[in-house]
Amino acid sequence: MLMSTIQAGIVGLGRLGKRYASDLRWRVRGVSLVAACSLQAEELAWARSELGIAHTYLNYEALLNHQGLDAVFIVSSTSQHVPQLIAALRAGLHVFCEKPLGITLADCLQAEAVAARHPTQLAVVGFVRRFDPAYAYAKQQIAAGLIGRPFMLRSQTVDVDAVAGFQMEFVKSSGGIFHDMNVHDIDLARWFLQSEIQTVFAAGGAFKHPAFGEAGDADNVVATCVMENGHIAQFWASRTAAHGHDTQTEIIGTEGVLCVGRNAAAQRVEILDRYGVRQECVQTFYERFEQAFLLQTQDFIDCLLQGRRPALQLRDATRATQAAIALSASLFEGKGVVQTQPLNELEG
Amino acid sequence: MLMSTIQAGIVGLGRLGKRYASDLRWRVRGVSLVAACSLQAEELAWARSELGIAHTYLNYEALLNHQGLDAVFIVSSTSQHVPQLIAALRAGLHVFCEKPLGITLADCLQAEAVAARHPTQLAVVGFVRRFDPAYAYAKQQIAAGLIGRPFMLRSQTVDVDAVAGFQMEFVKSSGGIFHDMNVHDIDLARWFLQSEIQTVFAAGGAFKHPAFGEAGDADNVVATCVMENGHIAQFWASRTAAHGHDTQTEIIGTEGVLCVGRNAAAQRVEILDRYGVRQECVQTFYERFEQAFLLQTQDFIDCLLQGRRPALQLRDATRATQAAIALSASLFEGKGVVQTQPLNELEG
Amino acid sequence: MLMSTIQAGIVGLGRLGKRYASDLRWRVRGVSLVAACSLQAEELAWARSELGIAHTYLNYEALLNHQGLDAVFIVSSTSQHVPQLIAALRAGLHVFCEKPLGITLADCLQAEAVAARHPTQLAVVGFVRRFDPAYAYAKQQIAAGLIGRPFMLRSQTVDVDAVAGFQMEFVKSSGGIFHDMNVHDIDLARWFLQSEIQTVFAAGGAFKHPAFGEAGDADNVVATCVMENGHIAQFWASRTAAHGHDTQTEIIGTEGVLCVGRNAAAQRVEILDRYGVRQECVQTFYERFEQAFLLQTQDFIDCLLQGRRPALQLRDATRATQAAIALSASLFEGKGVVQTQPLNELEG
Amino acid sequence: MLMSTIQAGIVGLGRLGKRYASDLRWRVRGVSLVAACSLQAEELAWARSELGIAHTYLNYEALLNHQGLDAVFIVSSTSQHVPQLIAALRAGLHVFCEKPLGITLADCLQAEAVAARHPTQLAVVGFVRRFDPAYAYAKQQIAAGLIGRPFMLRSQTVDVDAVAGFQMEFVKSSGGIFHDMNVHDIDLARWFLQSEIQTVFAAGGAFKHPAFGEAGDADNVVATCVMENGHIAQFWASRTAAHGHDTQTEIIGTEGVLCVGRNAAAQRVEILDRYGVRQECVQTFYERFEQAFLLQTQDFIDCLLQGRRPALQLRDATRATQAAIALSASLFEGKGVVQTQPLNELEG
């Protein structure tokens, strides 16, 4: 069985898309990356020369029609996620889609509705932290009772200032700092506290880079959230760190606390010099979560090979978007305390 | 000048009062602890036998009338702080008062008003963290520009679960978890961000000990605050930690972050055994801030000897109480987002 | 060029051999693992069922004669390393050999002599730490001048007590604690201090497990060494750690110190519970160096594909064995201070 | 009883002497510093103006004859320790003497002999680390069985390069790096392993500052030692650290390891900036051991007040000097492996 192989294609070969493509080509077992699609001819040239992908397409429909394709990986820009996911499902393919699924609830719910009509195909959105060995270990230890009953989570996504300029270009399409960054912390709150975010209050500003403020976004935000079960969560997102990419999460339970990622060290080296005792930090989310991205892709392929349902469903992505919308409303629309809307009302 | 000596008295010889008395007796330069007052005869016996204090009083008025007294330290229960402070000022004495000044704004403003009528006497409320070498070093490094412009603060006061029972007895008189614990974090936000807390939202619950909930309090709370200058603050207070007393503060600036107290180690010992690589933690706030308490007392005495004004004024205590009231209203009265009231309206 | 592929075989499918085989099968680019050899039929069955290796051999000569083979990986027991390496060279194959090359200098020099007669074939012994990202980063930072001129190294190889019983079985064949464990630290001293070990003094004992003493070995040893250039090195090896596998190295220079591996944490999780603030540690050398093993194998394949000479030569392995022999003589033969013999005298 | 007071004098008011004098004046309970002696008139002026010491002497004999004196603290240059200690004993005084007692064994044994003839007087040499809370906690935890049976110790004394110039002036009088720095590590080995150092081998050099080499000393040394009971110890001393004063000790037992001082942080502040995540370090041994010096002095006074024998005897200082002599012989006289001489032969 291990010898069978999924035929996969990919759409989107930007910075992150290239990582997915390389993993699919060299590091994931049980898959062959047979086709790639991009709007940029030079990205397709890269796929041919560096990865030896024979079949490259400028047109997404052509990718979907590639003979023998089993699954497609969507790593394109956010606004394309839902339409491409729907098209792939309708073409009979399994789909893995980078987060976020969509910026609007309507988009997310539409994707869910189409997926419901293709129940034998997998449609998965990635929340990569769940596959990080540290987060996975924390989850497992909590299940084993190490910290008693968890009731609170504090989580931060902190990016290095050096990428702020890059992020500025994507403010509009990414949906802003809550959709782009805290969406991971939202998912962690749901995962560890096993409830939905109900009430939120957010604050923040463009403290270092006024341009984010002018674009209706922020460079640092914080939030306090209450879950449906009364559990509580605190978030921080920052685009302005000097030291590196610093993703951290504390899960607080009745008998202990687990801190994931408090050590942001790039590698197991300490430097003792005139600056003190120090560790240099990872600089990008990819550097921090490289292994998690690989494990996430492997898990999707293993699900296909083993006929297993993945742990993450589209509904998880919809819920994360819903909370990001509430947080954005609280801060950017000045709505103060905001309640998330029951999904069943929206689904009518 | 170093040879002159302040004649001091103390009222309140409970757990913390004994610490103050011992410091005044053995460790603070330029002061003689000549008299002590308590309602408990056995506490006065302790002062006589352990500290050699000749003059002990069951009656506070008698202490104030002690011949030659220059200053009084008030370490009694919170409800006594304001009346005892006012009486001491009227008796012509300098006053150092443990935090919090009072639970109500009216009390705080009354104390301020009386102090204003005795401008040559010092009236100081202690916020001990400002004297902790780590916090003081952070303040100094920020002033030197190490982290650029600070715009955000995250601060927590976490007590070990072992003292939860003890705290339960004081819920009513202490004013609850925001007054008792986060009041320090509030003061740090004001100190580091140089603005007043304007808007707050708090969440929390009695997640481990329902008794706190039944008493109208909580065992874990979080809050998001906006300052008048737009800066932001996040707080956490907990009564349920398994590992120790864990006070931490992050001050986030445009060019860096300072983390104070992230290392809660009791001493410079790491243990490598079957539990991993570990450090045991301080168990009480006093263990953590012993040196700060000493430095705070020394600073008050030095102010008296050198004719210097202390950095902390009664107004600082009033402001901290005001924010704690707003946080309590947000959570315990269910008021959601709460604005602090302008003090000048109240003083009207 | 990336599309060409090395045809590789492996001999030895014990614990570590299985790791090499899996890496060659799934994770290393540019290689096909086409054949495997072991004396244990069940290990060959594992290679067929888990890795899908079609060609398996109980006989090493048969492996060497496998049609189209380019290279062989030797991960058999230490006593087989030199004869198998020589046979492979004579069969016209490239060879990668797990450390140590041999326990005696005569064996090592014989291997070198045969390799010298096959100059177009690679013959490499692995010292895996050089490929660990942390050690590699330290090397690179030192080259960039971060710590000035390095003049001293302190290095330890500490194994968890749980594997002591396993190690006991291999004492005779492994050559003892200096050959088996400190051989890595020896190589690091040579690599970072760029000189040969000249004078050694070792001490130690069987402090926890007398059986090691009865077998002429020890469970904890330390040593002080002087290099030919006057630089100094200190080693520690232990078989008795409770907390995990703890490999650490400090490189001391005139302007700073680099500590590699001082953090032995298994993952980026800190636990705050009644045992303090703690991190659980990696338990085995493989868990610690998994990535290094992969990079080492990839580098060997890349050398073959790119016609590049590897950084490590057989001479490095000979030098490491020579120092391990001197350390063993110092402690186990009670010879006190021992000088290593000039190799050219031996090569006569 | 707590009310009685020791009348103390001090000889030596250099950098460290001023610290002792200030502690005796302001911070130690049960003692009055009534007299001071120095060869430097300005140091005596300091004692009068800063500490209010009424009686100051340029002549040591005059100090010893000061009316009512109970005890003298000797913090003069090393060569004066033994003659001043002997004179004080003969004057009927208790004596506390800074380490080292002497550079020669003859001096040490002479001091012991005189002390033996004054059995009712205390004669104590300070090894300040034993009073450091971290070391004391380690000792107590080991006694409680936390790490099983200790059998090995690794200890380092590392000074910041900034004080190397200062140290250079004292090379001759201090006895060199083993006497001046590793003498503390020697004492720790004796204390934790409960045996005497028997066999030593040392290496080192003047790697950064050739001037130390020209003076017959070194700026970095390492050593491996075997105790009489077969336990083992490793030492490092350095005068060239860029990051700070870095005293560390590991005590290795059959069930665990205790690391004392691995965290050299100056205070509980972590800085997250472009240099990484870092902690600034203590810069001097006094900054590191300030509290230990105070506790050590308090313990001596408490011994006097309570009629208790101190844990440290002159014999401890003699043993430490003996080991430092052996280490110096190994490295500076090129004697290789050196055995310490049985003391009873010397005492003949």
pLDDT tens-digit readout, C56-97: 999 999 999 999 999 999 999 999 999 999 999 999 999 999
Look at the pTM and tell me if it is higher than 0.80: yes
Sorting pLDDT into bands at 50, 70 and 90, what band is C2?
Answer: very low
Residue B323 pLDDT:
97
Mean pLDDT of the region A307-312? 93
What amino acid is encoded at A232 in this protein? I
* Contact yes or no for B225/B235 (Cβ under 8 A): yes
Pairing of strands D31-37, D6-11: parallel
Q: Residues of A169-178 as b/e, b for ≥16 C-beta within 10 angstroms?
A: eebeebbbbb
CATH number of B130-288+320-347: 3.30.360.10
Considering only B137-151, B164-178, B311-325, which range has the smallest mean pLDDT?
A: B164-178
Sorting pLDDT into bands at 50, 70 and 90, what band is C256?
Answer: very high
Min CA distance, B201 vs chain A (Å)?
7
CA-CA distance, C224 to D337, in Å (whole number)? Answer: 11
Out of 3.30.565.10, 3.40.50.720, 2.10.260.10, 3.40.50.1820, select the CATH number for domain D6-128+292-311. Answer: 3.40.50.720
H or E stretch covering D33: strand D31-37
Selecting from C207, C254, C256 the residue whose C-beta is nearest the C-beta of D151 gives: C207
C332-341 tens-digit pLDDT: 999 999 999 8
Residue B348 pLDDT:
57
Mean pLDDT of the region A131-138? 98
- Interface probe, candidates B247, B248, B275, chain C, greatest C C-beta count within 10 A: B275
Give the distance from CA B329 to its chain's centroid. Answer: 21
Which residues of A touch chain D, with CB atoms under 8 Å apart?
Answer: 241-244, 246, 263-265, 271-281
Query: Is A256 in Cβ contact with C271 (below 8 Å)?
Result: yes
D188-220 tens-digit pLDDT: 999 999 999 999 999 999 999 999 999 999 999
* Contact yes or no for D18/D44 (Cβ under 8 A): no
What residues of C are in contact with residue B281 (Cβ under 8 Å)?
A: 272, 276-277
Selecting from D241, D242, D276 the residue whose C-beta is nearest the C-beta of A280 gives: D276
Sorting pLDDT into bands at 50, 70 and 90, what band is B168?
Answer: confident
CA dihedral B290, B294, B297, B300 (to 10 degrees): -120
Mean pLDDT of the region A127-147? 98
* Contact yes or no for A108/A102 (Cβ under 8 A): yes
Nearest CA in chain D to B270: D259
DSSP assignment of C26-65: II-TTEEEEEEE-S-HHHHHHHHHHH--SEEESSHHHHHT
C149-190 tens-digit pLDDT: 999 999 999 999 988 888 888 887 888 999 999 999 999 999
Nearest CA in chain D to B294: D27
Mean pLDDT of the region C255-274? 96
Residue B314 pLDDT:
96
D325-336 tens-digit pLDDT: 999 999 999 999
Query: Is A242 in Cβ contact with D274 (below 8 Å)?
Result: yes
pLDDT at residue B1 tops 50:
no
CA-CA distance, A243 to A160, in Å (whole number)? Answer: 7
- Interface probe, candidates B46, B53, B156, B270, chain D, greatest D C-beta count within 10 A: B270
Residue A341 pLDDT:
81
Min CA distance, A341 vs chain C (Å)?
35
D37-68 tens-digit pLDDT: 999 999 999 999 999 999 999 999 999 999 99
For C47, list phi and psi in degrees, rounded to 5.
-65, -35
The one-character DSSP state at A27 is I
Mean pLDDT of the region A106-120? 97
Looking at chain A, the whole-number percentage of residues with pLDDT higher than 70 is 99
Residue C293 pLDDT:
98
Query: Which residues in chain D are classed under CATH 3.40.50.720?
Result: 6-128+292-311
Query: Is D246 in Cβ contact with A274 (below 8 Å)?
Result: no
Min CA distance, B337 vs chain A (Å)?
7
Min CA distance, B56 vs chain D (Å)?
18
Query: Is C275 in Cβ contact with B278 (below 8 Å)?
Result: yes
Record the tokens describing residue B198, joined without a space: 């304007």
**Measured CA distances, A314 to A6, A93, A169, A286, A310 (Å):** 22, 16, 27, 23, 10
What amino acid is encoded at D49 in this protein? S
Query: Is B271 in Cβ contact with C265 (below 8 Å)?
Result: no
Looking at chain C, the whole-number percentage of residues with pLDDT higher than 70 is 99
pLDDT at residue C288 tops 80:
yes
Which residues of C touch chain D, with CB atoms under 8 Å apart?
Answer: 148-149, 151-152, 154, 199, 201-205, 207-208, 220, 222-226, 230-232, 234, 236, 238, 240-243, 252, 254-257, 262, 336-337
Residue C82 pLDDT:
97
* Contact yes or no for A192/A251 (Cβ under 8 A): yes
Q: Which chains touch B (3 or more CB pairs under 8 A)?
A: A, C, D
A15-54 tens-digit pLDDT: 999 999 999 999 999 999 999 999 999 999 999 999 999 9
Which segments of C169-284 does DSSP mark as H helices, in order? 171-174, 177, 183-193, 210-214
- Interface probe, candidates D146, D161, D224, chain C, greatest C C-beta count within 10 A: D224
Q: Which chains touch A (3 or more CB pairs under 8 A)?
A: B, C, D
Selecting from B154, B231, B336 the residue whose C-beta is nearest the C-beta of A236 gives: B154
Query: Which residues in chain C are classed under CATH 3.30.360.10?
Result: 130-288+320-347
Query: Between B and D, how many residue pairs show a Cβ–Cβ distance under 8 A?
Result: 86
Helix, strand, or coil here: A241? strand
B290-333 tens-digit pLDDT: 999 999 999 999 999 999 999 999 999 999 999 999 999 999 99
Count the alpha carbons within 13 Å of A279 in the hemisphere toward its beta carbon: 19
Min CA distance, A130 vs chain D (Å)?
25
Query: Is D236 in Cβ contact with C154 (below 8 Å)?
Result: yes
**Measured CA distances, C8 to A258, B197, C66, C90 (Å):** 44, 68, 10, 16
Residue D2 pLDDT:
44
Sorting pLDDT into bands at 50, 70 and 90, what band is C267?
Answer: very high
Tell me the Cα Rg of chain C: 20
| Nearest by Cα to C299 from C36, C14, C23 | C23
CA-CA distance, D288 to C153, in Å (whole number)? Answer: 25
Query: Is A337 in Cβ contact with B152 (below 8 Å)?
Result: no
What residues of D are in contact with residue C201 (Cβ under 8 Å)?
A: 201, 224, 336-337
| Nearest by Cα to C20 from C63, C76, C66 | C76
* Contact yes or no for B153/B192 (Cβ under 8 A): yes
CA-CA distance, A18 to A23, in Å (whole number)? Answer: 9
What residues of D are in contact with residue B3 (Cβ under 8 Å)?
A: 52
What amino acid is encoded at C241 in this protein? A
Query: Is D277 in Cβ contact with A278 (below 8 Å)?
Result: yes
Nearest CA in chain D to B22: D29
pLDDT at residue B234 tops 90:
yes
What amino acid is encoded at A10 in this protein? I
Residue D348 pLDDT:
57
Average pLDDT, chain A: 95
B85-101 tens-digit pLDDT: 999 999 999 999 999 99
Query: Is A277 in Cβ contact with D277 (below 8 Å)?
Result: no
CA-CA distance, B32 to D248, in Å (whole number)? Answer: 40
Mean pLDDT of the region C185-198? 98
Sorting pLDDT into bands at 50, 70 and 90, what band is C1?
Answer: very low
Which segments of chain A does DSSP mark as H helices, in order? 15-22, 41-51, 60-64, 78-90, 105-116, 133-143, 164-169, 171-174, 177, 183-193, 210-214, 285-306, 314-332, 343-347
Helix, strand, or coil here: C155? strand
Residue A348 pLDDT:
57
What residues of C are in contact with residue D232 (Cβ under 8 Å)?
A: 203-205, 220, 222
Query: Is B208 in Cβ contact with A254 (below 8 Å)?
Result: yes
C214-248 tens-digit pLDDT: 999 999 999 999 999 999 999 999 999 999 999 99
CA-CA distance, A122 to D35, in Å (whole number)? Answer: 87
Record the tokens describing residue D345, joined without a space: 């032969």
CA-CA distance, D235 to D218, in Å (whole number)? Answer: 14
Query: Is C278 in Cβ contact with B278 (below 8 Å)?
Result: yes
Mean pLDDT of the region B216-223? 97
Which segments of A91-203 does DSSP mark as H helices, in order? 105-116, 133-143, 164-169, 171-174, 177, 183-193
Catalogue the E-assigned strands of A166-260.
Answer: 197-205, 220-227, 232-241, 248-253, 257-260
Q: Which residues pair with B249 in a beta bridge?
A: B155, B260
CA-CA distance, A221 to C144, in Å (whole number)? Answer: 38
Please enumerate, as own/partner, the contacts of A57-62 that have beta carbons within 8 Å and a separation of 24 or more. A60/A11, A60/A84, A60/A87, A61/A87, A62/A37
Q: Which chains touch C (3 or more CB pairs under 8 A)?
A: A, B, D
Nearest CA in chain B to D274: B256
Mean pLDDT of the region D269-283? 97
Sorting pLDDT into bands at 50, 70 and 90, what band is C348?
Answer: low
Average pLDDT, chain C: 95
Selecting from A3, A256, A269 the residue whose C-beta is nearest the C-beta of C259 gives: A269
pLDDT at residue B51 tops 70:
yes
Min CA distance, A288 vs chain D (Å)?
15
Query: Is C272 in Cβ contact with A258 (below 8 Å)?
Result: yes
Looking at chain D, the whole-number percentage of residues with pLDDT higher than 90 is 91
| Nearest by Cα to D130 from D178, D198, D190, D181 | D190
Mean pLDDT of the region A122-151? 97
Q: Do you know the residue count of chain D?
A: 348
**Measured CA distances, C91 to C65, C68, C70, C72, C88 (Å):** 8, 12, 10, 10, 5
CA-CA distance, D144 to A236, in Å (whole number)? Answer: 44
**Measured CA distances, B260 to B220, C204, D268 (Å):** 21, 42, 6
* Contact yes or no for A166/A286 (Cβ under 8 A): no
Query: Is A241 in Cβ contact with D274 (below 8 Å)?
Result: no
- Interface probe, candidates A152, A229, A238, chain B, greatest B C-beta count within 10 A: A152
pLDDT at residue B3 tops 70:
no
Helix, strand, or coil here: C311? coil
State the residue for tokens 């603290």.
D73
Mean pLDDT of the region B44-53? 96
**Measured CA distances, D14 to D47, D244, D282 (Å):** 11, 22, 21
| Nearest by Cα to D123 from D102, D141, D154 | D102
